[in-house]
Structure 1
């Protein structure tokens, strides 16, 4: 073999060796990348889980311990006759306490102790407010001892005393030994009356729970009897009063009677 031929073979061998080294290096790089990817994939669930725990911890801290979401104010809705200041005082809302930790039922129970409040509901208004919605008692009759007037709602609860008789409410004139029971019957009757008819009633007389009578202007009287079927009696009376009479008897609502009708 000539010298030239041996040089060419040597060059070719050197080129092949370099190509082999390059391919090996690339293969090693690919292997290393695959190994890193495998390790990353094995750690990925742990990383995600740790992130979730961290975020959850921060959120829990913000909700239950941070002042960022603490109670900063109270809104009162539904109060017409009860002063807002009175409701706020009874509620005793824990200003500065994290909103999520506030006992809503405890606040509602405190507001319900107010005599003129029939019910109360408390909700959270994020990020930092409490909302109190009250349902006030609605009077349906006035009970008096001659010097003061007690407002009584449809459940029979006396919730407020006023110095003079309010307009549009019938006065309960109750006598007899069973006064408390009779008053409850009178309240049932008054609550069953349509608002327009109730405003016409000057007083409701009762010597017993079974002898209730409504006293209207111009000496007109309604014999009611007991408080049973009061809703039905109120319907019958509304129809019966289309006739002008001195006495309307709805004690037996299926057989109503009028007396002293004007011809």
Structure 2
């Protein structure tokens, strides 16, 4: 029997001529490095149920169209999302029924198709007391009408109708007739001096100037003011309770005049006539 094989050495792996077995290279030459192999091209994942990509895309398009169609039907064709009630907010003098009548909201119509802009225009055109109207969809079945009513700053007597007044807001807009003067709102009297060129400003412009004066009045003075009398553009007088008067002048420098008048009335409490037409040189007399 042959003896046990000894350990294999480097000499045992060489063939004739000193070549290393299986190397395939000339002796003494360095081994060439192997180039890295690129990973296999990734294949798209297999689709379920053996569907092709084209079929799956077609099914996705059909499903999307079905969902969109259902949404359109839900908004416009179903009986679920239709206008059933109208809520009114922000009224002071107006009643909710007056607003609903002017708005003419189409009950029973799809909520998504209601023209809210048209509703707002109808309210503002029909109700002069409304400064701004906003119609808001109240899902799932209502419309909310949010109103901002005008605030009277002055009233003017309506010609030919004794005891009837027209309210004027801060922008000089005449908007509503009332049978009684609102509390704390002065009466505007245009007592124009035709001999002065200021009379040619026009009643609209002079009315706007009077409103600016009324807005600038100190709170305590506004409460006591009964009449704002306009004789010209720069001659506006306030007639207060207790037969007191204030020569305000023009509507310019309203904030400064209000501050000076407040201080002057505290110092000259018993005066009957105040003049703040030139706020840097106020005066008081009478009393």
Cα drift, residue 186 of structure 1 = 1.0
Residue of structure 2 aligned with 1:54, choices 34, 48, 66: 66
Does residue 1:71 correspond to 2:83, yes or no?
yes
Does residue 1:259 correspond to 2:284, yes or no?
yes
Q: 2:184 maps to which residue?
A: 168
| Closer/same/farther in 2, CA of residues 58 and 194 from structure 1, 3 Å limit | farther
Which structure 2 segments of 5+ residues have no match? 1-45, 193-198
Does residue 1:246 correspond to 2:259, yes or no?
no
Cα drift, residue 156 of structure 1 = 1.1
Cα drift, residue 37 of structure 1 = 4.3
Q: Would you say the 8 A contact 1:246–1:258 is kept in 2?
A: no
Q: 1:129 maps to which residue?
A: 142
- 1:158-182 deviation digits (Å, cap 9, x = unpaired): 2222223222111112122543332
- For normalisation by structure 1, the TM-score amounts to 0.79
| Closer/same/farther in 2, CA of residues 87 and 36 from structure 1, 3 Å limit | closer
Q: 2:240 maps to which residue?
A: 216
Greater share of helix residues, 1 or 2? 1
The more displaced of 213-222 and 84-93 is 213-222
Cα drift, residue 50 of structure 1 = 2.1
Q: Would you say the 8 A contact 2:47–2:53 is kept in 1?
A: no
Does residue 1:152 correspond to 2:171, yes or no?
no
Cα drift, residue 91 of structure 1 = 0.3
Q: 2:130 maps to which residue?
A: 117
The number of residue pairs the alignment matches comes to 228
Q: Which has the larger radius of gyration?
A: 2
Q: How does 1:9-28 map to 2 (within 5 A)?
A: none
- 1:73-124 deviation digits (Å, cap 9, x = unpaired): 1111001101111111110001111011111100000011111111101110
Which whole-Å CA distance do the structure 2 matches of 1:153 and 1:209 have between them? 19
Does residue 1:93 correspond to 2:105, yes or no?
yes
Residue 224 of structure 2 aligns to a residue in which SS?
A: coil
| Closer/same/farther in 2, CA of residues 52 and 35 from structure 1, 3 Å limit | closer
